[in-house]
Structure 1
Amino acid sequence: MQEETRKQQALKSTPYFHSVDWGGNPVEVSEDEFKKLEDCGRKKMAITEEPVFRELEDYETADEDEICDTPLGVTFDRRLTWKAHLTNADSKERKKLPNLQKLAGTNLLAHQNILKTVYLWTIRPILEYGSSAWITAAKTNQQRLDKVQNQALRIITGALKSTPIKAMEDATVFPPLAKRRESKTLAKNQDTYTSETWTQVYTIGSASAAIKDVGACIFILYISGRSRTNSIPTGRHCTNYRSENEAIKQAIKLIEESPEGCPNVVIFTDALSVLQAPENSKQTSISRALFSLCKTRVLSLQWIPVHCGVPGNVNADR
C-alpha cells in the first residue's frame, strides 16, 4: 500500500512531456509549451494518468495572420489586415480609461478641461498612431478604436449612456476619429503626390441599386496643368466593383494614348477591393493593364476616402 502511494506521488511530481511532430521531426516539449500549442488550435490525444509521450495529431501551420512584425510600434501582419495592431491599441488604451474615471470621480472632481487634456495627451495619440498605414483596415476593426474615444467622451462630459455621441463630440469639440484619419490620409496624399511631379488620375464607378445602369468616369490632371474628363458605359447590368475595374483600365488606356509626358502616374480610387484585386491571380485583365503601364512609367495606386471633397474625385463624379 505504501509503495503504491509513493508511486502515485512520484507520478504527480513528474513533469509531463509531449512528443510533437514539427515539420517531420519529433520534438519534446514541456506541458506549458504544449498548452500554448493547444491554444493555437492544435489537437492532442486524451491525457492519461501517467506521464507519457503523446503525439500531436492533425498538425497545421500557424495562421498567416498570426505572423506579425512590429517596426516603429506599428504591427504588420502578413495580409495587412492590421487586426493585430488595432486589437493591441484597443486593449492598451482601454486600460487607461479607469484612470480617467478616477480623475472625474467625486474624490478629485477634475475640471473638464483637465480631463480633455489628459485624453488628448495620453489616449488619442495611441489611437491614431500609424493611421496613415492602417487606414485600409476593415471598418469593424477601426470602429474598436472609435468606441474607446466614445467611452472617454462619456467620462469627460459625465453624460448618460443614452446621450448621442454627436452631442458629446460637439460639447468637447472633438471630431470623430474616422474624420481625423481621413483628413490625415488626404494631407499625406497631397504632400506625396504633388501635381508638379505626378499625373493624377481619379476614377469613379457608379451604378443604380449597385447592379444596373452602370458607368465609369475618369478625371486626369496632367503635370502641365491640362485636365481631361472621360466617361464610358460599362453595361446595363453590372456591379460597382466591375465598373471600378473598367474605370481604371480606361484610365490606363487614356494615359498610354496621351501626348502629354506622364513619367509618374498615380491612380486614386475609393474602391479598396479593386486595389487589392491585382494580388488575386484571377484578376488577369486589370493586372495585365497595370503591368503594361509599369513598363514605361512609375505607377502608384492610392486609396482615398469617399465623399470627402477631394477636388479630383469630385470632378470625376460629376
Structure 2
Amino acid sequence: MGGVGIEMTPEIKILGLTVDHKLTFNAHVSQVCKKAANIYKQLTRAARVNWGLSPEVIRTIYTTAVEPVILYAAAAWAPAARKLEVRKKFNAIQRGYAQKMCKAYRTASLNSTLILTGTLPLDLRLLEAASLYEAKKGISPQYQLADREVEKMAQKMSAPHPAEQTGLQFENLEDEEQYSRHSDYAVRIFTDGSKIEGKVGAALSIWKDAGETRAIKLTLSPYCTVYQAELLAITKATEVALKNKETSIGIYSDSRSALQSVTNTGSTHPLAVEARSNLRNCRLQNKNISLFWIKAHAGLVGNERADDLAKDAALKSKKRPEYDKCPISYIKREIRAETIKEWENSCSLAMEDSPHTCTDSSVRRTLHASANLGQRKLSSMSS
C-alpha cells in the first residue's frame, strides 16, 4: 500500500486482548500475569506475616484488582486455561496472594492456602466466568440446562421513548392505620410470593368493599426465586387491573425490591417491563392505579390472605408452572457447584500423587466450608 509492503504480524491486540496467529493466547497470558505480578510486588511492601495489611484488605485487593485483570475477556480465551503451561503460570501468581491472605509463610503450598482462604484456582475461575457468559448469551454452557430457558433481560431499545415514559412511584404503609387512609379504592389487590420446601408459588387476593371477590394462585418452577414470585404476582395484578372495569385500583405488596424494580424505568427485568407496560396502558384508559408497599405480617387481612394463598400454591398446586424462566442466580449456583466439584477432584488426585499429603475426610469438609465462605465474597465477580 503506497509502495510499502504489508507484512503478516504474529499477533494483534484487540480491545485489550492479545490474539496470536495460532490462537494459543500464550502472549495474552504472559501479559496479564505480568500485570498481576507487578501488583503483587507493590503489595509485598505493605503486607508481611506479622504486620501490614489485614487478610480482608488483601482479599479485597485480589478480588477487585487482580482477578479482573486476569479474567478480562475470559469467554474468548478460556480454553487456554486447560493447558498445563498456563496453569503453572496462574499457580505461580496466585500462590503469593493466597499466602498473604492467610498470613502463611512462603513454604506453604498453593493447595493448602487456597483451601484455607476459600479462593478458587485461577484456571477454574476463568472457566467459570466463561461458562456464565455463555449462559447469559444463551450459548450451551459446560453443564446442562436441559429444557430450561434462561431468564434474559429486556433490550434497552424495546423500552418506550423517554417522552412517553411516566414517573412511577409507590408509597410505604407501615401499619394498619396508614393502610386505612389509603384503602378507599374500588378494587384492592394484595400480592405475595413464597418459596417453601423447595417449591415456589405466588398469589393474588382481590378485594372489593369488605370482602374478597377472587383469589388467583400462580405456580413457578422450583428453581425460581422469591423475587421472581413477587414480581410475577405484581405483574399479574397489573394485568387484572388492566382488564377490570373499575377505574380506581390499589395494588399492595410486601416486597419492596419488586416494587422498586417495577417503578424503576431503568430496570430491564422482563416481568418489571411487562408490569410497566400494563400500567402505561391503564393510564391510557384513564384508570387510577396506585402501588403500595405494606409491612408483612402486620395484621392486614388482605396481606395474610395473599401469604396463605402463595404458600398453598407452592405446596399443593399440580398444574404447569405459569413462569419457568431460569434465573441467573440459579445458573451461578450450578456453575459454582460444578467448579467446586472439579476443584475437589483435582485435590483428590494431588493427594493420591503425594503420599505425604493428608488424605483425611476432614480435608474435603474444609474444602467445601472454606470455598462456600470465601466464594460468597467472590460471587460479585460473576455478575
Normalising by the smaller structure, the TM-score range is 0.3 to 0.5
Q: TM-score, normalised by structure 1?
A: 0.39
Please state which structure has a larger fraction of its residues in strand. Answer: 1
- Higher RCO (CA-CA < 8 Å; seq separation 6+): 2
Q: Please identify which structure carries the higher helix content.
A: 2
